[in-house]
Amino acid sequence: MAKLSVNINKIATLRNARGGNNPDLVKFAMDCEKFGAQGITIHPRPDERHIRYSDVYDLKKVITTEFNIEGNPKEEKFVELVLNNRPTQVTLVPDAENQLTSNHGWDTIKHQDYLKEIIATFKSKGIRVSIFVDPSIEMVEAAKTTGTDRIELYTESFAQHFHQDKEKAIAPYIKAAQKAAELGLGLNAGHDLDLQNLAYFKQNAPNLVEVSIGHALICDALYYGIENTIQMYLRKLL
């Protein structure tokens, strides 16, 4: 069974919209764990529009499952934040500073030297490293030589085309997953996975270790409740 890591950015967005501490981000993370989530993911950005840097320190104190911090390591404050908190995993994403959401993976060939250096920095502190990549054999092969422990396949394209032709949508991800397994890379996945497409992705992407899901899961929780929603997602990963 692949693990479910719940991305709680949207809970921070809701809190920040009104000020104060409602909903309580830390309590929400703890409740997600209590309800069955096997990890908590956050993606702090420089403008702190959802996750604040102070949240990271607060969450580090209470999370008992896997703590995954996503972000662009070219931001100096992000690197400092990760090294100070030493999460279970850091996921490196090539976001621009004002980007609304992640929309592409690393060019692991072009940025090979940089990735080797920053990955070594995190691994020297005992932090597992995953890097965001598109479902490309070349990008997966080059990811292996960066020293990363895992890759996270960027699944927006799969989700966009799933309802039109799911076999065509999954095809490049199967090949990328197979290559990752061949190279000994752990496989994560994330972006726009939901209750409709998750089971199919899990069944067809070999050796999937972890999915990180936020937006769709939180939207579903508005209707089904967070405890029930987490259980619904976990069943899709069986």
At 232 the three-state DSSP class reads: helix
Secondary structure of 182-230 in the HEC alphabet? HHCCEEEEECCCCCCCHHHHHHHCCCEEEEEECHHHHHHHHHHCHHHHH
Residues labelled catalytic: 43, 70, 191
Q: Which long-range contacts (CB under 8 A, 24 or more apart) does 156-160 make?
A: 156/103, 156/191, 156/192, 158/192, 158/197, 158/201, 159/191, 159/192, 159/193, 159/194, 159/197, 160/192
Distance CA 213, CA 198 (A): 10
Query: Which pair of tokens denotes residue 212?
Result: 């990180």
For the chain, how many helices (H) and strands (E)?
11, 8
Residue type, 151: I
Strand-pair partners of 67: 40
Q: Are 170 and 158 in contact (CB under 8 A)?
A: yes
- The dihedrals phi and psi of 226, each to the nearest 5 degrees, come to -70, -40
